[in-house]
Structure 1
Amino acid sequence: MTRYFLLFSSVLFLFFASCEDTQKSKNINTNTTISRDETEKDSAIIKKIQEDKEQEKKLVINEEPMLVQEELMPFLMQYGKENPENRVRIKTRFGDIEVMLYQDTPLHRGNFLFLTKQGYFDGTYFHRVAEGFVIQGGNSDNRETSIKRNNIGSYLIPSEFEAGHRHTRGAFSAAKYAEQNVSKASSPFEFFIVQSERGAHHLDNDHTVFGRVTKGMDVVDSINKQPVGEGEWPMQNVKMEVEIIE
């Protein structure tokens, strides 16, 4: 009887030991799966960090800007002579806006062509929408835009009111800084398009009109209807790309 009891006990021991090993094996497999998932998440995070670093490398802040105020006028005049194009296309998700730049505002035309060929406007927004008045573009809240501005330079464009262009519907005009700007010099980076049917003649001889929309005022009208938040900034960004037509 004792012998049978010992044999039975051994069988039970082996059976439970086998069950325990199976359970441990299941736990090991489960833990391995969790570990693999965590590793994949970690790899994705590391990849994203590396991509961000690569992007940062592309956005290099130059110690010396391309343009300085003291050399601005001769540079823009010469640039305008070497780059005679006067038609540009502004591409948005609402459609394209085509603009003719005036030859008799050479500083503003030269500056706009220069910025376009530098790729400055690509990725900026129509960041201000004043319903029934204007849409204003050339800025964004992206770090890339501020870096581009730093690299190009901090300067103002002298006004070119003598050309006599007025703020009628479709006028393509330069924004300007209001503070400490008695000469009414223009911002090099921002522009606006008059949307109002009546025009915006209170801006004549206050902002320099240096072009006009030749195609796409329906696009201007669509952008002008977009809902806005604080500071007349559209609730959904209206991104642009600008290219030279001819």
Structure 2
Amino acid sequence: MKKNPSLPSILRALLLAGFLLPIASCNQSGSENANNETEPTEAEAKLEPLTSETAVEVLSAYEKQHPDSIAVISTRLGDIKVRLYKDTPLHRANFVRLTNAGFYDQGEFYRVVKGFAIQGGDSDNREMKNGAYKIPQETNPKHIHKKGALAMARYGDEHNPDKESSSHNFYIVLGEPLTDAELRAYEAEHNIQYTPQQIETYKTIGGEPGLDTEYTVFGEVIDGMDVVEKIAQEPVGSGNWPKEIVPHKIKMTNK
């Protein structure tokens, strides 16, 4: 059954609500540690926590020194290979920086919405802290929320009018093929115009165009979409948390 074009706002509200709690929880932990005079653990020493004042400068410098753009996300259900876009430099640098420091090795896919998206990057068991900061949005009309798109979560508009991204929570898009009429409705809602190729992509591969212009897409799955689908099929409890955790480890690779 095709989705009703009126659903984007509903889905977006659910997405924002689900993203808000984990981010707030991590920020609180970072604030508590800032007031704690104990020595950092060995894991924490690998990653200098950033702030809103230092994030852009540090990430801009890191991006120049680390041109890596291929990452492998390993889970108990298999591996997902993603390519990071060069024209979203701050988001790419942030993802590579956290990956190289081992930060994402302490994360998991903690929210699964079948047919919509799987969200990872966070965990209640994490020891390493990355600081309380957000990443300036780098939305680009070239990069749409097609099935397999890799994007960054964020706070809702009422708390975040500039649509800045989370420091670490990411998601991979699922979604179903759409019709011309549905796509025209999304174009009107977001005041955008899809290229013929993007229209064909949404009609054949599918995705979630209701998220376009709202979140920064900074990469895409190039292998392992079947694993994403398996994760999406995991039984969930309240808050769409998988009943059996799906930890992930992420490594950069040249292959």
When normalised by structure 1's length, the TM-score is 0.71
The amino acid that maps onto 1:181 is: N
Name the counterpart of 1:87. Answer: 70
Q: How many residues align?
A: 185
Q: State the Cα distance separating 1:123 from its structure 2 match.
A: 2.6
The amino acid that maps onto 1:83 is: H
Work out whether residues 160 and 208 of structure 1, in 8 Å CA contact, stay in contact via their aligned partners in 2.
yes
Q: Compare CA radii of gyration and give the structure with the larger one.
A: 1
Name the counterpart of 2:218. Answer: 210
Name the counterpart of 1:170. Answer: 148
Instruction: Tell me: higher relative CO, structure 1 or 2? Use CA pairs within 8 A at least 6 residues apart.
Output: 2
Runs of 4+ that moved beyond 6 A = 59-62
Name the counterpart of 1:148. Answer: 128
Name the counterpart of 1:196. Answer: 175
Work out whether residues 141 and 213 of structure 2, in 8 Å CA contact, stay in contact via their aligned partners in 1.
no
CA distance in 2, matches of 1:75, 1:171: 26
Identical-pair percentage: 44
The RMSD of aligned alpha carbons is 2.0
2:246 is aligned with 1:238? yes
The amino acid that maps onto 1:196 is: G
Q: State the Cα distance separating 1:61 from its structure 2 match.
A: 6.8
2:105 is aligned with 1:126? no
Q: State the Cα distance separating 1:74 from its structure 2 match.
A: 2.0
Task: Quickly say closer, same or farther: Cα 1:169–1:66, change in 2 above 3 A.
Answer: same
Work out whether residues 171 and 209 of structure 1, in 8 Å CA contact, stay in contact via their aligned partners in 2.
yes
Q: 5+ unaligned residues in a row in structure 1: which ranges? A: 1-55
Q: State the Cα distance separating 1:68 from its structure 2 match.
A: 1.7
Spell out the pairing of 1:1-246 with structure 2 (5 A cutoff): 58=41, 66-142=49-125, 145=126, 147-149=127-129, 152-162=130-140, 164-178=142-156, 179-197=158-176, 198-246=206-254
Q: State the Cα distance separating 1:57 from its structure 2 match.
A: 8.2
Q: 5+ unaligned residues in a row in structure 2: which ranges? A: 1-38, 177-205
Task: Quickly say closer, same or farther: Cα 1:83–1:229, change in 2 above 3 A.
Answer: same
Q: State the Cα distance separating 1:66 from its structure 2 match.
A: 2.6
